[in-house]
Structure 1
Amino acid sequence: MPDWLEVVLRTLFGVLALFAMTRLLGKRQITQLSPFEYITGISIGNLAASISLDVEYAWYLGLIALSVWVLVSLGIEFLQMKSIKMRNLIDSTATVLIKEGKILEDNVKKERLTTTELMSKLRKKSVFKVADVEFAIIEPSGEINILLKREHQPLTAAHLGIKVGPEIEPQAVIEDGNIMDEPLATMGLSREWLYEELQKLGVTVENVFFGQVNGFGELYVDLYDDQLQVSESQQRATLFAQLKKIEADIELFGLTTKNAEAKQMYEQSSKQLQQMIEDLKPVLVRC
């Protein structure tokens, strides 16, 4: 067999072997790497290169070496799951770099970080003032996670005492001009509904590069032609306006009726509707 053909076959074999072993090791191996995972990745890459190019040695010897590395990695991961001591020994532990707005110099030096590097990592988290940080922790992977002081945290519905329903996962229903039936069925929708919504927007399926339905049943479309403007759905705004109109009508009925029992019923209904509108306002009114 010619050398060039053997190299081609060895390379293809190496790619397939690496892919299979990466799938076996799982997603953890391709995310932020621990020191051992970093070493494993380099070693497996070198072994795969040797399998491809070193025609003087039998290919199966490289495969045996790859298999040993994969088995060792799986064994280490098993030990990490079963033993906290092994987990801390192999991956190390998280280190607090900032506490209550003060940099812990000893810990920063221990992690071999300069203040310039620390500030750079803080800015990547959209934090520019150390004084705003309650805790900053460097994880074993090298990533820095930050907890801002309470007064500097973004305002949420929970801070306002507003209960918000669970968010329904948006579904892509059109891709490259093709309707995706499974996501439509997941949302409890049909092609007929989709065609009606597209007609309201004045577009056809063939003109849509990407279409997505959110948890409120609203369709968003991105067209192939970026110059065309598509109007946004007004369903929530329309519903809010209708509820306000009903509220006004009920108040009017309460003011005009001379029946005391009916007046009390209208006033009670009006208060209940006002409370419902207030609860729904964060959802129905766009910022």
Structure 2
Amino acid sequence: MDYGLQALKLVVGLVTLTLTFRMLGKKNLAQLSPFDLVHVIVFGGILDSIFYDDEIGILPFIFTAVVWSLSIYTMDLLAKKFNLFRSVFRGTPDHIIENGKLNMRLFDRSNIEMEELRSILRQKDIFSLREVKDLFLEPDGRFSVIRYAKYRSGKDSSEEDYYNVLLIDEGEVQREVLKYIGKSEEWLMSEMSALGVSDVKDVVYCEWSEEEGFYYRTKDDCIHEKREGYIN
């Protein structure tokens, strides 16, 4: 093994990788798009395969590193200049909840479950879907939430938060949750019937709390068609 050659390759690889990140701008890891991560992972694989091959000299190594770095920079530049390339390379936000209505097409495409979505909202101190006016799934996988105005105002110090549970998830009754809160399926069916719901299979989600009662959305309350524009 030529240790001098290996050391030189290591330095060139480090410099090239650093310059590539510099060209992409000052992003933290959370701001890297899936395309950025693919670039870095593939680049690491290229460096790894060439690094341990003594038959590949320093010039082919530099050529490969430079070409790959320039291709990354070119794609990033195209994404900044043209909407078509931006949507392909960077992605666009998914408007999952729009004015209180769940977009089922985007929700299904996001591969998240309703309880997972509720968990994400709880991490943002939002304990019910009734508070959410608009929700966006950003290209980097993070969620952005706009609350209804009445929930954005500060709470009175004497007002307590309430805990709610998901009783119906995409038409399926959550029997374990009913058991946990000490209610029966018959009670749920009776309450839903009183609310005008004849078939729970039509209910996309239904929350309930002792203090606030029921909050639900049926398939008719959701958005199903593809929306035109930059935001899906």
Kept after mapping to 2: 8 A contact 1:14/1:51:
no
**Which residue matches 1:45?**
44
Structure 2: any 5+ residue segments left out of the alignment?
Answer: 155-232
1:74 pairs with 2:83? no
Kept after mapping to 2: 8 A contact 1:50/1:62:
no
**One-letter identity of the residue aligned with 2:6:** V
Kept after mapping to 2: 8 A contact 1:34/1:91:
yes
Compute the displacement of 1:102 (Å). 4.2
Kept after mapping to 1: 8 A contact 2:100/2:134:
yes
Q: Hey, what's the Cα distance between the residues in 2 that align with 1:50 and 1:29? A: 27
Question: What SS does structure 2 have at the residue aligned with 1:135?
Answer: strand
Q: Given the superposition, is the C-alpha separation of residues 128 and 25 from structure 1 closer, same or farther in structure 2, using an over 3 Å criterion?
A: same
**Which residue matches 2:55?**
56
Kept after mapping to 2: 8 A contact 1:97/1:135:
yes
**One-letter identity of the residue aligned with 2:13:** G
**One-letter identity of the residue aligned with 1:130:** L
Compute the displacement of 1:49 (Å). 2.2
Q: Hey, what's the Cα distance between the residues in 1 that align with 2:58 and 2:138? A: 39
Kept after mapping to 1: 8 A contact 2:94/2:136:
yes
1:110 pairs with 2:113? no
Q: Hey, what's the Cα distance between the residues in 2 that align with 1:98 and 1:117? A: 15
**Which residue matches 1:141?**
140
Kept after mapping to 2: 8 A contact 1:101/1:133:
yes
Q: Hey, what's the Cα distance between the residues in 1 that align with 2:77 and 2:38? A: 17
Compute the displacement of 1:66 (Å). 1.9
Kept after mapping to 1: 8 A contact 2:13/2:65:
no
Normalising by the residue count of structure 1, what TM-score does the alignment of the two structures yield? Answer: 0.48
Kept after mapping to 2: 8 A contact 1:51/1:59:
no
Compute the displacement of 1:12 (Å). 3.1
Question: What SS does structure 2 have at the residue aligned with 1:14?
Answer: helix
Q: Given the superposition, is the C-alpha separation of residues 123 and 67 from structure 1 closer, same or farther in structure 2, using an over 3 Å criterion?
A: farther
**Which residue matches 1:35?**
34
**Which residue matches 1:99?**
98
Question: What SS does structure 1 have at the residue aligned with 2:136?
Answer: strand
Task: Map 1:116-127 to 2 at 5 A.
Answer: 116-127=115-126
Q: Hey, what's the Cα distance between the residues in 2 that align with 1:59 and 1:125? A: 51
Question: What SS does structure 2 have at the residue aligned with 1:98?
Answer: strand
Structure 1: any 5+ residue segments left out of the alignment?
Answer: 156-287
Q: Hey, what's the Cα distance between the residues in 2 that align with 1:143 and 1:31? A: 8
**One-letter identity of the residue aligned with 2:86:** R
Q: Hey, what's the Cα distance between the residues in 2 that align with 1:126 and 1:101? A: 18
Q: Hey, what's the Cα distance between the residues in 2 that align with 1:90 and 1:24? A: 16
Question: What SS does structure 1 have at the residue aligned with 2:145?
Answer: strand
Q: Over residues 100-125 of structure 1, what are the superposed CA-to-partner deviations in whole Å (9 max), with x where a residue is unaligned?
A: 44433322102222223322322332
| Count of aligned positions | 155
Q: Hey, what's the Cα distance between the residues in 2 that align with 1:108 and 1:91? A: 19
Task: Map 1:80-95 to 2 at 5 A.
Answer: 80-95=79-94
**Which residue matches 2:159?**
none
Q: Greater shift after overlay, 86-95 or 99-108?
A: 99-108
**One-letter identity of the residue aligned with 1:136:** L
Task: Map 1:1-287 to 2 at 5 A.
Answer: 2-28=1-27, 30-155=29-154
**One-letter identity of the residue aligned with 1:79:** L
Normalising by the residue count of structure 2, what TM-score does the alignment of the two structures yield? Answer: 0.58
**RMSD of aligned Cα (Å):** 2.5
Compute the displacement of 1:83 (Å). 1.5
Kept after mapping to 2: 8 A contact 1:47/1:62:
no
State the structure with bigger RCO (CA 8 A, min sep 6), 1 or 2.
Answer: 2
